[in-house]
Amino acid sequence: MLRFIDARGKDLSWIANELSWRKRDFPQDKRDLVLNIIENVKSEGDKALLRYSEIFDKVKFSLSTEMLANNAEISNAYDNVDKKFIEAIHKAKERIFGFHKSQMQKSWMIYEDDGSILGQKVGPIENVGVYVPGGRAAYPSSVLMNVIPAKLAGVKNIIMVSPPSEDGNLSPYTLVAANEAGCDAIYKVGGAQAIAALAYGTETIPKVDKIVGPGNIYVTLAKKEVYGIVDIDMIAGPSEVLVIADNSANPAYVAADLLAQAEHDPLASSILLTDSFETAQSVFVQIEVQMKRMSKVKIIEQSLNDYGAIVVLDSIDLAIGTANMIAPEHLELCVREPFQRLNSIKHAGAIFLGHHTPEAIGDYMAGPNHVLPTNGTARFFSPLSVEHFVKKSSVLYFTNKALESIAKDAIEIANAEGLSAHANSIEVRLKQNDAISSKRS
């Protein structure tokens, strides 16, 4: 069961030491395996993909073309899901689309009095690969969260990869979501080999410019290794939630939210910070009561035992200081007047305010993206957004008059850097202008 930590009378450094159990380093043996997989896919292409599908996914494709989900499979997927699910996907799609539409950016120009024009040209990345976890599980929500912002940005080709189950098929829920979101191609390939295929291209899977989407440690390591060959969204770790609650919080709600996060993965982290000993005790009891009804009890138990904690502190202010130190993926503010505390939160992937905003609603229907920075990276990373799928070019135009107004200063800096050719590229234009002026006079 999760740890119960009485931190009353303790400072932030003591609390930090008690909660610093999660390792951020990747095991070398796993990194070596991933590097080997990447090199093999890079050199062998489809041949390596077929081999790894058989080894890791227990799926033996006879031909490379069988890795591509065809129209018949997609059509069959619709026959194998409930109409209520399709309706739910439509509603979620609408809400996610509506939220991300507000993030769209436009090109802009500044016209100076001297005739110079400065600006920024904003355009979509052309080819994007989306990784969606699969195998025994289905994550249609991840499909929507990764594909919809890309579509809004104007990405031309969106390629989805996902590991198949042992029968060689993808979940019908995943296929329906991918089709509804607008994927251009869906491949039944997973793991580090899928990331390598997207980064370098094979005979069947085209090379992309950027890879997004969550995955296990092998997928994460592969994304890290191919960064620079392609762009990636972020280096994501196991999911996490941190709940800050005072005595106005409903213990049953808080316990349910901690359990929901623990259900993700044995490595998931669920932490409660509270200034109320009574609330802490009640949440602890509620966890034991509610957990008995959950379908993934073993995963929840391991997650809570290894990475869960209930911490009682002296104040909510100290709890917020602890949260800023942790920089969690999900932060729930289950306190009185949560909006009054909002500006005190410096680092969090997503902030859920009040007693009726469970993290789980953000996973599916709220609208904001659920692909979020983890492992403290909310200090410098942001949620997946439309901006992740665009690139920007600076635009510059100078007239003779505009160039002359700043040329001497530019030459001065170039000479200070010892870059005479840089200085010369400006000076030749000034000399040309002087020569033209002399002829005219």
Name, in order, each residue with C-beta under 8 angstroms of 50's C-beta and a sequence gap of 6 or more: 60, 61, 64, 67
Active site residue 330: yes
As a whole number of Å, the CA-based R_g of the chain is: 26
Instruction: Using CA atoms of 47, 52, 53, 54 in order, give the dihedral in degrees to the nearest 10.
Output: 100
**CA 42, 46, 51: angle at the middle one, nearest 5?**
100
- Whether 263 sits among the annotated catalytic residues: the reply is no
The token pair that represents 1 in the structure block: 């069961």
Task: Check 100, 264, 330, 370 and give the catalytic one.
Answer: 330
Of the candidates 180, 225, 329, 332, the residue annotated as catalytic is 329
* Residue listed under structure tokens 């999911």: 239
H/E run at residue 129 = strand 127-131
C-alpha to C-alpha distance for 179 and 171, rounded to whole angstroms: 12
Joined tokens for residue 181: 């979101």
Q: Is 105 helix (H, G, I), strand (E, B) or coil?
A: coil
Question: Residue 184 has which token pair?
Answer: 């251009």
Task: Characterize 207-218 residue by residue with b for buried, 16 or more Cβ atoms within 10 angstroms of its Cβ, and e for exposed.
Answer: ebbbbbbbbbbb
User: Residue 391: enclosing H or E segment and its boundaries?
Assistant: strand 390-397
- Give me the active site residues, please: 329-330
